[in-house]
Chains A and B, each alone.
Chain A
Amino acid sequence: MKKNLLWFLSAGSLFIISSCSKDDNPTPPTPPVVTTGLYVLNEGLFNGNNTMLTYYSFSNSTPTTDFFANVNGSSLGDTGSDIVIYGGKLYIVMNVSSYVEVADAFTAHEITRIDMKNGSVPRQPRYAVGYKNKLLVSSYDGTVAVIDTTTLTIDKFITVGSNPEQLLVANDKLFVANSGGLNFPDYDSTVSVVDLSTFTEKKKIVVGLNPGKMAADENGNVFVVSTGNYADAFPKIVQIDANAESVTRSLDSAVNIIKVSGDKLYAISGFGENQKVLVFNTADLSVSDNNFISDGTVVTSMYGLDIDDETGDVYITDSKDYVSPGEVFCFDKNGTKKFSFSVTPGLNPDKVVLIKQ
């Protein structure tokens, strides 16, 4: 009996030792100095507090993840949905943590966090755009916040439609896609036009169910993807004349993310294995290329699309199976892969921005 008891007790103490031997806080590596390269925002997983920033250096072709945590000693939090560089600052929109991170664009050193809560209720910010020393941030609570980029405080909230997603400025007006995404199945179907001299909503343009992603060209054309309702309302690309504030064209097409560069509109089309990048002419939405990737490069799960307007390079992010570390691909304007890199341990990379020293 005594032997049994001793064996048991020693087994118990072994348990304690083994469970305490893990090093909880390994020292983060010294972060590299930012030169010219890319910042990649890795969204992470909902309730995972694992949004990460990757810095990719062009000079030595090396990605560093999580660059933000390496620099600041703590991480961003939950579900980063947008990243914007504006006026020498880096803004990261944190949807579930419900704040906007403000950091120095060249060092990623935190400057401040702008809380996005209505009282204690999270507003759930989604996307941001810079305009004349203001940062305009859409939130799921049906507002666009006007943040002064000097004082880093919120000047006012503009009321728009329900659950706004992307927003952009064209012809000195702000266009906001009101998805109504949290009202399934009764989605919104409008784009708000906001006067940027008074920061008030002027009107709503009806574009079709569940508008989300947007892009604009230099001729005052705003393109909106109405995602539909996944049942009888199909997705389409809707073109708005920013001057007339009216719909000029609509094209049924199962696209998700769109970006415009010059006179071309790039779009991620389809789901799963049938995903590809389509290229449209912005002049008439005719298809210019029905499979942009020309060298057979396989991207498992296209999750983000960004274009370098100077070089025409196209960045496509790959979220793999959504729970494994993602990858970023760079293609030249002819659709030939230039390079790719892993953002491990970052999950679901969704946006790439260029940083130039």
Chain B
Amino acid sequence: MVARIAHGQVTDSLKTLDTVTVSGAKNVYINIAPVQQLDRSTLQQLNSFSVGDAAKYFSGVLIKDYGGVGGLKTISVRSLGAQQTGVLYDGIAMADAQSGQVDLSKLSVTFLQSINLYDGAFFTALMPARSYSYAALLSASTVANFPSLQKLDWRFGLRQGSFGLWQPYAGFTLPASKRTFINFTAEGTKAEGDYPFNINNGSYSEKSKRNNSDIKSLHAEINITTLFNDSSAWKTKAAVYIAQRGLPGAIIFFNDHSTQRLWNTDAFIQSAYNKKFNAKISLLAAAKYTHSYTRYLDPDFLNNQGELDDKYNQDEAYASAALAYNITSSLQFNYASDAAYTTLHSNKKMFAEPSRLSLWNVAGIQYNKQLFHANANVLYTHIHGDVKQGTAADDKNEFTPALAVSIKPGLKSPLLLRAFYKRIFRLPTFNDLYYNIVGNTDLKPEYANQYNVGVTYTKHVSEHLNNISFSVDGYYNTVNDKIIAIPSKNLFIWSVLNLGKVHITGVDVNAEASGKFSGNWSWFIKLAYTWQHAVDVTDKSSASYKDQIPYTPVHSGSGIIQLAYKTWNFSYSNIYSGGRYTLGDNIPANHLNGWITQDISLSKAFLLKHATLTIKGELNNITDQHYDVIKYFPMPGRSYEISISINKK
């Protein structure tokens, strides 16, 4: 913890101490199962628009990025697939039953306090049952998620960058009474996204610019936090995200026509109440209502109407109650029960109009002795589906266990040994089950088994090397009944089947260190490296048998260096991906080159009487690396961004 403060002083030297201590309240390296964290001070310094950009710095993670500010960004952890990864926003799950994945480009980092990634989704704190229903969990928390941080505060800023980017934002926290704080944040984004790229077709090469890649979006939130006398806390959030964007599509040789548009309105209100009754019993109650509207327009679709204009409305009501009971000082029992009801409506003809009732119940125990920790739970999931047209999928009832243990060799030992096992599944999405003639209501859940063993090392060395943390985790995952879409008749008629089987062997390495040189100089370094052998073992006779699965590099990694001198901050970061294959057959024709992007930023704070003014300049992708994360969806090359912000001192 001492070291995290030092780190905070480096990168965030002008913010108040409690901001820093809370975000770094616990060194995540000593967790029972792997947890990675990017805290506010690092997030502010990284050149990331969204959680989708920031999460690329985690090990074991693949962010599928279709390019640009408005491009879809989804996360897959340890090659288990985006649908196996949950996303929490201020402690409560965001879910999309239609596609089963959350677009991380919609989550801005501007007002985030931290982003955490939980492999295996093991928790020490009281959590809703649904949080346990994922193979891995990405958790984004705003300042409003930390009741103890509430105080009078304000912040304004403006970012301007390449390809027509403008991003103004504002946030206030006001005390409404002695114990209640109202927090308001808003951010607007406008970008043309018309970045240059090269079309390379053999000997023929052409410089072009991305078109129809523009986005306009607005994100606004109101948070009301009440901290009661008995230290129980009540947090309520209402948030809205409105966006209109072009869908530039894949680069198609000899055809650069692109006119498809997408509109989103996502609104939700969530409320959570935390109370500790006595030394033995604590309670968490939460509820959320989400409404998502999506409109997809293809104005040149060649049907009789001359356009395709699909509208979808998804609604979900969700509630959770969780209870922890301390049987002894070292043994805790916890139980959580959640329910969600989800509906999807569309203007599409013959649309199934599906709805789904989901119940999650989890019972767990935690055993915490000084040197030995154990965490075991069993999740029971019940799913009931209905449709207005066609046939609904059968009910599903699943029990899935999880177990994690950690041992420290001695009280003063810097080492920690840990292991976990988790069996979990992801449900077929509404698209998998019901989409036009493609969907298949006979689909079974897709199961994932995860085995992880790891060792971590954490040590405070000296003033110059305050803290050094290091972790190595090896894992073996199996995915059975993987849900994949294949063309059943021709390339226009696909069907979805439980066809795939994948074995994943991997190693995640994380390291970070921070310290001071002398007096006014301090530094922070964070490194992540991933090795993954993720192979398709579906069919022995297939050309892709035992080949690396698509878009999964064997080697990948990232690095962040931050240096601070008085009111100056400098940051260098890079992200590396090795070569990948675009299809299951690992032949040269399917090979996609690896890439590395490197970003730098420099900021200077000016201390005014009542406020701090910060000016920051960024140069992103400084080597102008041209690369695709997804083939034929080119990523931006070199770009700049300048920002100015002013916040209460």
Interface residues of A (CB under 8 A from B): 1, 4-5, 8, 11-12, 15-16, 18-19, 22, 24-25, 28, 43, 45-50, 69, 72-79, 94, 96-99, 113, 115, 117, 120-124, 140-142, 162-163, 180-186, 230-231, 256, 271-272, 303, 320-325, 344-345, 347-348
Judging by beta carbons under 8 Å apart, are A74 and B300 in contact? no
Judging by beta carbons under 8 Å apart, are B201 and A49 in contact? yes
CB of B519 within 8 A of chain A?
Answer: no
Say which residue of A8, A115, A256, A345 sits within 8 Å of B589 (CB atoms).
A345
CB of B410 within 8 A of chain A?
Answer: no
From A101, which residue of chain B is reached at the shortest CB distance? B254
17 A-B pairs besides A5-B561, A345-B590 with CB distance below 8 A are A5-B523, A8-B525, A8-B561, A18-B578, A19-B595, A43-B491, A47-B632, A69-B202, A77-B201, A98-B255, A98-B257, A122-B257, A184-B437, A321-B584, A323-B585, A325-B543, A345-B587
A141-B302 CB under 8 A given contacts A49-B201, A49-B632, A73-B203: yes
A97-B253 CB under 8 A given contacts A75-B201, A182-B302: yes
Say which residue of A4, A15, A184, A321 sits within 8 Å of B574 (CB atoms).
A15
Judging by beta carbons under 8 Å apart, are B257 and A120 in contact? yes
- A98 to B: closest C-beta gap in Å: 5
How many A-B Cβ pairs are below 8 Å? 170
From B437, which residue of chain A is reached at the shortest CB distance? A230
- Give the CA-CA distance A303 to B489 in the complex, in Å: 8
- Give the CA-CA distance A320 to B250 in the complex, in Å: 25
CB of B594 within 8 A of chain A?
Answer: yes
- A184 to B: closest C-beta gap in Å: 6
* Contact flags B65-98 to A (C-beta < 8 A → 1, else 0): 0000000000000000000000000000000000
Instruction: List CB contacts (< 8 Å) of B361-412 with chain A.
Output: none
Say which residue of A5, A49, A162, A185 sits within 8 Å of B350 (CB atoms).
A185
Judging by beta carbons under 8 Å apart, are A77 and B593 in contact? no
Judging by beta carbons under 8 Å apart, are A162 and B252 in contact? no
From B495, which residue of chain A is reached at the shortest CB distance? A271
Say which residue of A15, A50, A180, A256 sits within 8 Å of B489 (CB atoms).
A256
From B574, which residue of chain A is reached at the shortest CB distance? A12
Judging by beta carbons under 8 Å apart, are A344 and B302 in contact? no
Chain A residues positioned under 8 Å from B543 (CB to CB):
320, 324-325
Give the interface SS of chain B, mostly helix, strand, loop or mixed: loop
Say which residue of B301, B515, B582, B588 sits within 8 Å of A182 (CB atoms).
B301
- Give the CA-CA distance A78 to B525 in the complex, in Å: 45
A124-B302 CB under 8 A given contacts A184-B436, A321-B542, A323-B544: yes
Chain A residues positioned under 8 Å from B590 (CB to CB):
345
Judging by beta carbons under 8 Å apart, are A49 and B257 in contact? no
Judging by beta carbons under 8 Å apart, are A4 and B250 in contact? no
CB of B304 within 8 A of chain A?
Answer: yes
CB of B427 within 8 A of chain A?
Answer: no
- B264 to A: closest C-beta gap in Å: 22
CB of B623 within 8 A of chain A?
Answer: yes
Chain A residues positioned under 8 Å from B625 (CB to CB):
19
What are 25 pairs between A and B in contact, CB < 8 Å?
Answer: A1-B515, A11-B527, A15-B576, A18-B594, A24-B593, A25-B203, A43-B491, A77-B201, A79-B491, A97-B255, A117-B257, A121-B257, A122-B257, A141-B302, A162-B302, A184-B350, A185-B350, A256-B489, A272-B488, A324-B544, A325-B543, A325-B585, A345-B587, A345-B589, A347-B583
* Contact flags B551-589 to A (C-beta < 8 A → 1, else 0): 000000101010000000000001010110011110111
Judging by beta carbons under 8 Å apart, are A78 and B253 in contact? yes
Judging by beta carbons under 8 Å apart, are A8 and B253 in contact? no
Judging by beta carbons under 8 Å apart, are B544 and A8 in contact? no
Judging by beta carbons under 8 Å apart, are B525 and A5 in contact? yes
Judging by beta carbons under 8 Å apart, are B587 and A323 in contact? no
Looking at B517, B576, B579, the one whose CB has the most chain A CB atoms below 10 A away is: B576
From B348, which residue of chain A is reached at the shortest CB distance? A184
